[in-house]
Amino acid sequence: MIGGRELGAKEASGKSSAGNIILGRNAFDISRRTARSVQATGDVDGRHLIVVDTPGWWWHYTIQNTPQFDRLEIIKSPTLCLPGPHAILLVIPVYLAFPSIYRMTLEQQIKFLSNEVWKHIIVLFTSTEPCDESSLKNKVRKWPDLEQLLGRCHNRYHILNINNQSDSTQVIALLEKIEKLAAQNKGQCLKISQSISAWIQKEKTTNKRDKQRILTEGKQTTELKADSRGKKVHWNYL
């Protein structure tokens, strides 16, 4: 699940809430902003699901103004459901206005995931009250950039009332749409780009090196303290 967030908005986008409704349990913390990409699993209507929640970017900002940590967390998110996700749920609140800057920011954010990312996207419109198809279509007509976005997804979308957890039919309908999308893609997952794989390997190497450095420095500090108790320590300066 990916999506943006508004500056100063009182309402969240509903990504984490949507994930909880899909899994039928409180797998994601909705009391605070999602800071890291996190995975949760569950069995729903005979299907085993892996759902990944990700940090949201600011809709108003270009990718250059997005914190690097957030960008890296979004980029690496597909690796939490290897060999890759069958579907990417692009979460957009029904109430959200959608000017051109939002679409451009979105396209900047997701182009780093894969060259074929649009083949796997379903737009998930989250609402806090009942919303019918007619109301949604009126909204889409009001915002041409949203209409253009849906066009790139071949009009794949789903409406999810995140305040109605008891309605399991809306989740089952979403899962059926995901299965249809997977069939259209011949069961292929989103291929993780080589740049992401290279970045992950680099991160692992860097983390391993940092841990070794911390252990070495800690050992040297301990030895220095032990030495200072037994004799005078001489420091050399240049």
Residue 141: what pLDDT?
92
* Dihedral sign for Cα atoms in the order 83, 84, 85, 91: positive
Q: What is the DSSP string of 81-114?
A: GTT--S-EEEEEETT----HHHHHHHHHHHTTT-
Residue 111: what pLDDT?
85
95-129 pLDDT per residue, tens: 999 999 999 999 988 888 888 899 999 999 999 88
**CA-to-CA distance for 41 and 27, rounded, in angstroms?**
8
Residue 10: what pLDDT?
58
With contact defined as beta carbons under 8 Å apart, do 27 and 169 qualify?
A: no
Instruction: Please report, for the chain, the start and end positions of each structural domain, with discontinuous segments joined by +.
Output: 4-190, 193-229
Q: What is the mean pLDDT of each run of 10 residues along the chain (238 residues)?
A: 80 87 94 92 95 92 86 89 93 93 92 88 94 91 95 95 91 97 95 64 64 70 60 44
Write out the CATH class of domain 4-190.
alpha beta
Residue 54: what pLDDT?
94
Residue 202: what pLDDT?
64
Q: What is the DSSP string of 11-44?
A: S--SHHHHHHHHHTS--S--SS---S-EEEEEEE
Residue 122: what pLDDT?
97
**CA-to-CA distance for 55 and 4, rounded, in angstroms?**
8
69-100 pLDDT per residue, tens: 888 898 889 989 988 999 999 999 999 999 99
- How far, in whole angstroms, is CA 101 from its chain's centroid? 20
